[in-house]
Amino acid sequence: MDKPDHKSTTCTMLSIENLHVSINGTQVLKGTSLQINQGETVILFGPNGSGKTTLLYTIMGIGNYEVTEGRILFDGTDITHMPPNERAQLGIGMSMQRPPSIHGLKTRDLVRLCAGKREIDIDELARKVNLEHFLERDVNLGFSGGEIKRSELLQLMAQHPKLVLFDEPESGVDVENMALVGSMARKLLEGELAPDRTHTMLDIKQERKTSGLIITHTGHILDYITADRGHVLYNGHLCCADNPKRILDHLQKYGYKECIRCLT
Amino acid sequence: MKKPDLSHYEFSGHSAGKVEDLKRLGKAEKESMRMAGFDAEEKGTSASFVQIDHDNAFCKSYNPGVEILPLGLAMHMHEGLADYRWRLLKPEKDEYTRMAADNPHGGYVIRVKKGVRLDQPIQSCLMMHTNNVGQNVHNIVIIEEGAEAHILSGCTTTEADQSAAHIGISEFYVEKNASLTFTMVHNWGEKVDVRPRSAGQVEAGGIFQSNYISLKPVRNLQMYPSITMKGASSISRFNSVIVATEGTYMDVGNRVILDAPDTRTEIISHAIASGGHIVARGHIQANHAPSKGHLECQGLLLNKGIIQAIPELDGRAEGAELSHEAAVGKIAREELDYLMIRGLSEEEASSAIIRGFLDIDIMGLPNELQAEIQQAISETEKSML
């Protein structure tokens, strides 16, 4: 049973404190701090190599990254050195940019594993992302860019996380697929409720429990989801908290060179 | 190549005689047969053949389109069979063919008659029952023009800890537009030495599909069956799934000769060396064009196992397309990570990856055998982690 929701808008879901991360001795994140509240969606911009994926992987606990300083709290628990499966069980989910394919493991079986002990209707979920004909295929094997993203969404829907990390949800997705990927990402973050007689938009916003952290290059995902805040990650430093659409607008006009001025 | 010492095996004196009713076989026999893919209840079977030690124990066809006989009787009944015996292989090939030629213990002759399409498999089991027994069998399979059959051939010892040697000669004839699926399941033990010697030919428009599954330990097994695509537009496919646990040495592979235009072959093996040693070979020779061959070996190393993949492509005609792909390594970190971020522990993730790696869906096995093998894979997979 869920507790009454009066504190939902103020509760901190993810808190990253002064995070320093290295890979093979090279420092990638140099003191990053970020806080995401329950129900809040944050967009992360940044040029290639700025450390965006490093940040997501470090939150998830995968890859060859070493946290040399700082810590990550999720829902009040220090997860800095926790194995990824335990983080997943606490409620962190991730959509990878280029996930591996797994020979012989059927998509249906993986989706079932994602759900853990929760009962789900796999076929029904798959229909929502047009993947009902992919359930008997090996995970990601021979999938197109759009199919991979839809498969990631399907797994996340089965997993039902409290915090979703999206690593470039629009990369490799064609225009036709983008609408589906975008609207399913929205549903995952915002729930499926629409305003009605008993629910106002404000109610729905306050009931939102799923938080999101989204890496985007193009900003196309912003056409589909409501993001609360945007940041730019530049050279391992987080800067520029603002309305994500405004950040995108600036980046399109001036590029990332302005970030250098901002950070120096 | 490591050679087994066959001197202490008994290659004579173990004639068990006939078994009238397979259902009355002992529990251990039935269980080991089941592990080799043979159903003693004979549900959904076109024909059954059982060899125990040095003798044929059971041989029966339930379909008039299938003739199945022990080798000796078949040679006696069909004069023409002499043309098929030792045609694709020669007794002087090596010491094992020599032994099988000098001291034959029988084996099966299966003939699926012209145009007969079987929807139920033919099953055979070559069993070694007595401790220290050495068995020489010679099998001949003839799929006549336009016929279609699936043969399940299981080889096993009665007990897993039994000492035994198996020498098996097999000659396959797939005639014009005929189709043979040959599924071989090996259920050996730690003290078993095995030397199959097989060859086949596929005529125009014919299809030969070979499935090979070996999940149990075996001390020393070496085989390199050779199939010649003799007729135009013939196709062959080879899928093998093998596991070598500690103490196991397997030197296995397939050789295909594309000896006519428009022939194709695909050889795919998935091998796990979990403490054991696997030499995975493959050889495609293209003598004619157009022709197409693909050779693939995926190897997984666990618990200090060794895999040596030795692919060989031999193009002798312009216009032949041959390719190979081989990868040997441990379980990929990124695959583990991927499953772990979905909530699986490292062990659960490894186990899901191994199970997938040994996937047998592509083989098109009968449902019961499929389930049986899946069960065996689950058990094997536990022992590897």
Contacts of B167 (CB under 8 A, 6+ apart): B96, B99, B100, B134, B135, B136, B137, B194, B195, B196, B197
pLDDT of residue A9: 45
Question: What residue ranges define each of the domains in chain A, with the CATH number in brackets?
Answer: 12-100+162-263 (3.40.50.300)
For residue A6, pLDDT over 70 is answered with: no
Per-residue pLDDT band for A4 (boundaries 50, 70, 90) equals very low
Distance (Å) of CA B131 to CA A233, B127, B136: 71, 12, 15
> Taking CA atoms, what residue in B is nearest to A88?
B343
Pairing of strands B66-70, B47-52: unpaired
Can you tell me which residue has the tokens 């397309």?
B321
pLDDT of residue A5: 47
> Taking CA atoms, what residue in A is nearest to B356?
A104
> Taking CA atoms, what residue in B is nearest to A97?
B338
Contact residues, chain A, for B356 at CB < 8 Å: 102-105, 138
Contact residues, chain A, for B353 at CB < 8 Å: 102, 105
pLDDT of residue A198: 67
Q: How does pLDDT run across A31-45, given as a tens digit for each residue?
A: 999 999 999 999 999
Residue of B342, B346, B356 lying closest to A114 (CB–CB): B342
**In this complex, do B341 and A62 lie within 8 Å of one another by their Cβ atoms?**
yes
Q: Which pair of structure tokens corresponds to residue B105?
A: 């213990």
One-letter amino acid at B355 equals R
Going by C-alpha positions, the residue among B283, B282, B269 that lies closest to residue B314 is: B283
Task: Please tell me the distance from the alpha carbon of residue B241 to that of residue A71, in angstroms, as a whole number.
Answer: 45
Q: Considering the entire predicted model, what is its pTM?
A: 0.91
For residue A8, pLDDT over 60 is answered with: no
**In this complex, do B340 and A138 lie within 8 Å of one another by their Cβ atoms?**
no
For residue A121, pLDDT over 70 is answered with: yes
pLDDT of residue A192: 67
pLDDT of residue B277: 98
Contacts of B145 (CB under 8 A, 6+ apart): B114, B115, B175, B176, B177, B178
Closest Cα in chain A, distance from residue B349 (Å): 10
**What are the DSSP calls for B129-192, one per residue?**
-STTEEEEEEEEEEE-TT-EEEEEEEEEESSTT-EEEEEEEEEEEE-TT-EEEEEEEEE--TEE
For residue A126, pLDDT over 80 is answered with: yes
Dihedral over Cα of A59, A60, A63, A66: its sign:
positive
Backbone φ and ψ for B277, nearest 5 degrees, come out as: -125, 120
SS3 B383: helix
Contact residues, chain A, for B363 at CB < 8 Å: none
pLDDT of residue A49: 87
pLDDT of residue B112: 98
Q: How does pLDDT run across A213-243, given as a tens digit for each residue?
A: 999 988 889 999 989 999 999 888 888 888 9
Weakly modelled stretches of chain B, pLDDT under 70: none
Any alpha helices (H) in chain B, and if so which ranges? Answer: 27-35, 71-77, 95-102, 333-340, 346-357, 367-384
What contacts 24+ positions apart, CB below 8 Å, involve B5-9?
B6/B99, B6/B134, B6/B165, B6/B193, B8/B132, B9/B132, B9/B133, B9/B134, B9/B163, B9/B164, B9/B165, B9/B193
Contact residues, chain A, for B298 at CB < 8 Å: 103
Closest Cα in chain A, distance from residue B208 (Å): 23
Going by C-alpha positions, the residue among A210, A223, A219, A262 that lies closest to residue A241 is: A262
Q: How does pLDDT run across A57-95, given as a tens digit for each residue?
A: 999 999 999 999 999 999 999 999 999 999 999 999 999
* Max Cα–Cα distance, chain A, nearest Å: 57
Contacts of A118 (CB under 8 A, 6+ apart): A158, A160
Rounded average pLDDT over A139-149: 95
